[in-house]
Amino acid sequence: MSENNNYRSVFRYLPIASLVLRPVSNDYAIEDANEAYLETTGIIREELSDMLFFQNHLPAVLQKPDEQIPLLRETLQKVLEENQQQKAHGIQCQIKKAKNGHQAFRQLRFIPISDDQNAVESVLVTLHSDKTSTISSNVPTDKKKISEVFFELKESNKELNYLINQKSAQFEAASEDLKNFLYSVSHDLRAPLRRIDGFSKELLDEYASHLDETGGHYLKRIRQGTQDMGDIIDSLLKLSRTSRTKIEVKEINLSEIVKEEFSKLLNYGDYSKVILNVQEQVTGVADPGLTHVLINNLLSNALKFTSKVDSPEISFGTQTTESGTHYFIKDNGVGFDTAYSDKLFKAFQRLHAQKQYPGTGIGLTTVKQIITMHGGTIWAESELGSGATFYFNFKYSHEQYEQ
């Protein structure tokens, strides 16, 4: 993780509503805003990238933009000319209704941020309420003191980075040992299983006449057991290979991946009645190969649990909430009791009987592993008899990937 990303993470959760501006032609582009600013103004983060500060951001935020924007332009110009932080450089503004539905007056202040040559490269905008005025009064205004504070923050950040890297290295070493162990065990188990299955088949083919009905039944059960164990080992090997894959993210079209994987799965069962609904041109930033595995497992899961439904239907698309945009795969199958949802992504855990819905119990574990490798999240919502919806996202947005 770069220092810029670390500073951005710290900035995002500062208690004082703050915005960072970058000078452009006759206006200012918005580089970033913290959570407190978004909460205060009711602006959605995705809207900021298309906004200029004076042209269309302030008109969306201020109750009386025509009166206050000229004053704010004049104040900012004065700040830039003097290139120093002073408490006098602030304007009392009335903010439009925010998410909480209340109007509020805020002291809007400008703080220049200079480079090593003392030239202004960006501007910090802060909104102060009565609650934050006591906090802001303790913020140093002398540029030397500010530099000292930033130096201490930078040194602390370096120390934190060192500790994080040290712990990450220890974790990666332990994780690699576990992956190697899993691969070795899974691989070594296959040979004896193949021998058991082979000799059982020989007995059934060559000596069936010497066995009574009970003996033949036992041999068939032995063969079925070894084949089931073989399927589990194959799934474990796939999981191991997945966890050992080096991620290479790029922009991908998830809509097309869903269609491709669904077409492949049609060759493995009678799914002619299944209706697939795909939201077109859904894109993201992820590893293409791992995303194919992810989608394949989620679709396989949906196909399995809609197999006993008269009119099976599976849908793929996106849903946007306050926390961001998420992908989803939804089915109208048997569903599950959410009281047991903590078992969903654990290996070999089942919410339905093996005889009703066969499987190895590794598919959703693989899905969870891939999402975790991408730094994303996944969860499911369902009711018994009403289908299930799996929501997921990746760490990177298009904007972060381009940066």
**Per-residue pLDDT tens digits for 344-392:** 777 666 655 555 555 556 778 888 888 888 888 888 888 888 889 999 9
Instruction: Please count the other Cβ atoms lying within 10 Å of the Cβ belonging to residue 355.
Output: 6
Give residue 328's pLDDT.
Answer: 95
Give residue 138's pLDDT.
Answer: 45
| 139, 170, 194 - which closes a domain | 139
Structural domain total, the chain: 3
Amino acid 3 reads E
Residues 82 and 196 in one domain: no
pLDDT single digits (tens) 82-106: 765 444 456 777 787 554 445 566 7
Amino acid 62 reads L
Give residue 87's pLDDT.
Answer: 42
Residues 54 and 157 in one domain: no
Residues 307 and 199 in one domain: no
Residue 341 DSSP one-character state: G
| 88, 106, 139 - which closes a domain | 139
Instruction: Please count the other Cβ atoms lying within 10 Å of the Cβ belonging to residue 346.
Output: 12
Residues 152 and 135 in one domain: no
In degrees and rounded to multiples of 5, residue 317 shows phi and psi of -175, -160
* Residue ranges of the chain whose pLDDT lies below 70: 1-10, 13, 83-90, 97-105, 115-116, 129-187, 231-232, 234-245, 340, 347-361, 396-403
Residues 332 and 270 in one domain: yes
Provide the CATH number for the domain around residue 92.
Answer: 3.30.450.20
3-class DSSP assignment, residue 284: strand
Residues 208 and 331 in one domain: no
Give residue 257's pLDDT.
Answer: 94
Residues 261 and 371 in one domain: yes
Give residue 73's pLDDT.
Answer: 87
At CB < 8 A and 24+ separation, what contacts does 104-107 make? 104/40, 104/129, 105/129, 106/17, 106/40, 107/133
Query: Of all helices (H) and strands (E), which one includes residue 214?
Result: helix 213-244
Provide the CATH number for the domain around residue 204.
Answer: 1.10.287.130
Beta partners for 108? Answer: 91, 127
Give residue 329's pLDDT.
Answer: 93
Provide DSSP, 2-71: -HHHHHHHHHHT-SSEEEEEEEETTEEEEEEE-HHHHHHH---HHHHTT-BIIIIIHHHHBSSHHHHHHH
Residues 236 and 282 in one domain: no
Instruction: Please count the other Cβ atoms lying within 10 Å of the Cβ belonging to residue 325.
Output: 13
The residue written with tokens 């206006």 in the block is: 27
Residues 211 and 226 in one domain: yes
The parent domain of residue 334 ranges over 247-403
pTM for the model stands at 0.47
In degrees and rounded to multiples of 5, residue 216 shows phi and psi of -65, -40
Question: HEC states along 156-188?
Answer: HHHHHHHHHHHHHHHHHHHHHHHHHHHHHHHHH
Residues 316 and 366 in one domain: yes
Residues 169 and 289 in one domain: no
Structure tokens, 376: 């994303």
| 211, 244, 277 - which closes a domain | 244
Residues 109 and 72 in one domain: yes
Provide the CATH number for the domain around residue 397.
Answer: 3.30.565.10
